[in-house]
Amino acid sequence: ASSPSRASPTRSSPTRSSASRLPFAAPPRQQQQQQQQSQQPQQADEEVMAARNGLTNAHLAHEIAVDADFSLSDGPADSVETRFKNVARQAFFDLLHEELTRDPPELRHVPLVIAEIRDGLTSLTMENHARLRTQITEIFDTDLLVQQIERKVFDFEPYKTYILRIAGSLCAPSRDQALADLANIASTAAFCQEALELIRLMRLDLANFHIKAIRPMIKENAVKYEQEKFRQGLAKGILTLDQTKAWLETTVAKVARESTGLLAGTQDAMLIDYYIEAVLRLLEGSPEEALGGASSSAQQQQRPQPETWQMDTDRLAKARARLQHMALTAAVHTVVLGFVPSLRDSKEFDRQVTHLCDVLLTATNSDGEKVTLGEQLTAVALQLAQNLRKSHPAAFTEAMAASMQTVIVKLPEGNSVLSVLTRRIFDFLRRRLRANEAQYSVPRRSGLEAVAGQLEKLGLQIAMLSEHNRTVYAEFYDSILRAAIDQQQAAAAAAAA
């Protein structure tokens, strides 16, 4: 199969030079500046830059390896580059539309657009599509097209029909509606614009198809590749292990203070146990993070930032937010059961609380304005009270509604229910990270019934990520942990003497 890199074709045609391509690249002044800069002596060490590029490639390989649902997508819509390209693209096609609607029509830009569509369709073919590539090149013969324009016999309809037929044979089923919409466009300029957009999306589809096909091979080689690039980063001074060392040493000291019993057993088992405790520290957060917002500056300063987890910073932040969200949902569920015990075994009630918290515990309201956690919990309590008045009018009084609302709103303020359930969530994660089973269920009657499915799914993802991370960086972790454990044991022996 052809590689995703073919999404940026470089073939040229006799009717255009590199300067005559569609105006979606940098403006001339920016191109001139870039050329001048490229002629200046390189200030950065080439080996260091190569190592940085290697780290970028390692990041992509890492994402593919740890995320079974990984796929390429469009870049950020609000970036300067994207905005510039969109403006330039629209300006060009506005000009093309104006030229084509003149009497007689001005066709000077048509060969350029047809050539871009030709290259786009060609880039979507597989290696065994040699005959189709030849056919596409012959149909979109730009020399013949120029002759047709010069003789005033050019007709776009045959090209449109062929574009629709080839795109239809190459696109994924998910693009069928876009293809049908394209066929209904009467304007030549608008058709060409939307055809190029559809081809761009089809390139993404093709790239993701290739990624999915080779993912097992990437996953198999990602560990060695990440190890190699990380060592290069250390050798070139791009990376250090300072934060990683502090993270692990602090974990060992914390475990020793709390006397959790991890200091017993074989050293190999101890190393794994300490590593698991260190991972759990990365997942600790505050209730405010349940809304997807940032933690306080004090918490950010206290939270370790190990270099070995740099590629998973966003993934860890999302996991922390989900865990805090689950803890709050479970706490709300438990509080309501305290007022209406008859709902304890109701699966429908479990789903209702989970859905309500998923909808209402968000960082913004319906108008897009940021809100506090207290405001969102108030909305949850009010909606639950309204539902309970309808379903249990005799058992659920106004006084109970007011009391329940007060308890729910104050959950983040050191409430013992939230603390206990948060600890149980982390106990589940600790057992899940130690377990060898692919599936590990949330214990019954743990107070986590409303979030059991979500927690088990997230636990599996965290376990896979944790295992991959340890496999990549085990040599560094084990060395740091052994030294820290020896230091703690020596200190304990000295204190006992």
Task: Round to whole Å and give the CA distance between 98 and 280.
Answer: 61
Average pLDDT over residues 372-394: 90
Average confidence (pLDDT) over 408-430 = 93
Cβ atoms of 335 and 407 within 8 Å: the answer is yes
Q: What is the pLDDT of residues 201-250, one digit of tens each?
A: 999 999 888 888 888 888 778 888 889 989 999 999 999 999 999 999 99
| C-alpha span between 200 and 193 (Å, rounded) | 11
**243 vs 127, higher pLDDT:** 243
DSSP 295: P
- Tokens (6 digits) for 238: 């791009």
Closest CA to 407 of 421, 396, 418: 418
In the 3-class helix/strand/coil scheme, how is 394-453 assigned residue by residue? CCCCHHHHHHHHHHHHCCCCCCHHHHHHHHHHHHHHHHHHHCCCCCCCCCCCCCCHHHHH
Question: In which band, very low, low, confident or very high, does the pLDDT at 52 lie, cut at 50, 70 and 90?
Answer: very low
> Which residues, in sequence order, are CB contacts of 234 under 8 Å at separation 6+?
240, 241
Closest by alpha carbon to 457, among 71, 73, 69? Answer: 69
| pLDDT (mean) for 382-396 | 90
Quote the pLDDT of residue 6. 35
Query: What's the pTM?
Result: 0.69
Question: Over 80: is that where the pLDDT of 412 sits?
Answer: yes
> What does the pLDDT look like over 166-211, one tens digit per residue?
999 999 999 999 999 999 999 999 999 999 999 999 999 998 888 8
Mean pLDDT of the chain: 83
Report the pLDDT value the prediction gives residue 121, as an integer from 0 to 100.
94
pLDDT in tens, 106-124: 999 999 999 999 999 999 9
388, 341 Cβ separation under 8 angstroms:
no
Through-space distance between the first and last CA atoms of the chain, rounded to whole angstroms: 69
pLDDT tens readout for residues 328-362: 999 999 999 999 999 988 889 999 999 999 888 87
Q: Report residue 446's pLDDT band, with 50, 70 and 90 as the boundaries.
A: confident
